[in-house]
């Protein structure tokens, strides 16, 4: 395929395709001043670029999630030792599920900065979640841009009222 077709398929400029050809990033042969690009090589390079982009996004999201988790206040639970152990496991899972929020605006993902969140798992996955991330977002006066500080404050507010182990074990009571 030629450079123009390759650029359209890869959603990059023709100049980028030519640079990839010159540097050997993709397999190509120059004949009569035109690049003949191997389609399989282009597809393989696009897969590598996608994997790199996804890995970077995952690392950034993990840093944001870890920053939020470090600022959460988990109150001591009351109940029998067996209930507390069980509830702590449920609470840890619920907090992890609630933090499965994808940060779309990685550039401004600084602590306290504007963040855009979207629930990655969707509403149906959280229907039976004892923490109910939608409740947290509602308390944060969730809008398209919610500050990390407002999100953490709302999260802590929801956690503060769930101090008895039974409220985690059977949240519908």
pLDDT of residue 55: 87
The per-residue pLDDT for 1 is 93
Res 123: pLDDT: 40
pLDDT for residue 36: 95
Residues (pLDDT < 50) of the chain are: 102-128, 130, 141-142, 144
Angle between helices 39-70 and 148-160 (to 10 degrees): 60
Please choose, from the candidates 56, 147, 159, 69, the residue with its C-alpha nearest in 3D space to the C-alpha of residue 106. 56
- Looking at residue 127, its pLDDT comes to 43
Backbone angles phi, psi at 83, to 5 degrees: -60, -45
Q: What is the pLDDT of residue 113?
A: 37
Residue 22: CA atoms inside 13 Å, Cβ hemisphere, count?
Answer: 7
Element spanning 96, H or E: helix 81-98
State how far the Cα of 20 lies from the Cα of 22, in Å rounded to an integer. 6
Task: State residue 111's pLDDT score.
Answer: 39
Total-model pTM: 0.52
Phi, psi of 114 (to 5 degrees): -70, 130
Q: How far apart are CA 17 and CA 142, in angstroms?
A: 42
The whole-angstrom distance between residue 35's C-alpha and the CA centroid of its chain comes to: 38
C-alpha angle with apex 97: 77 to 161, nearest 5 degrees? Answer: 30
- What three-state secondary structure class fits 125? helix
In terms of Cα–Cα distance, which of 38, 41, 44, 35 is closest to 14?
35
């Amino acid at each position: 395929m030629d450079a123009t077709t390759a650029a359209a398929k890869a959603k990059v400029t023709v100049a980028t395709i030519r640079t990839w050809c010159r540097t050997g990033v993709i397999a190509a042969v120059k004949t009569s001043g035109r690049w003949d690009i191997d389609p399989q090589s282009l597809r393989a390079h696009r897969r590598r670029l996608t994997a790199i982009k996804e890995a970077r996004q995952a690392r950034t999201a993990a840093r944001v999630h870890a920053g939020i988790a470090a600022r959460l206040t988990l109150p001591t639970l009351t109940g029998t030792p067996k209930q507390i152990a069980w509830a702590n496991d449920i609470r840890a899972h619920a907090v992890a599920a609630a933090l499965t929020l994808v940060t779309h605006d990685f550039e401004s993902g600084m602590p306290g900065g504007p963040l855009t969140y979207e629930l990655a798992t969707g509403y149906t996955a959280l229907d039976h979640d004892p923490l109910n991330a939608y409740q947290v977002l509602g308390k944060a006066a969730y809008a398209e841009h919610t500050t990390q500080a407002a999100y953490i404050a709302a999260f802590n507010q929801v956690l503060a009222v769930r101090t008895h182990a039974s409220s985690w074990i059977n949240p519908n009571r």
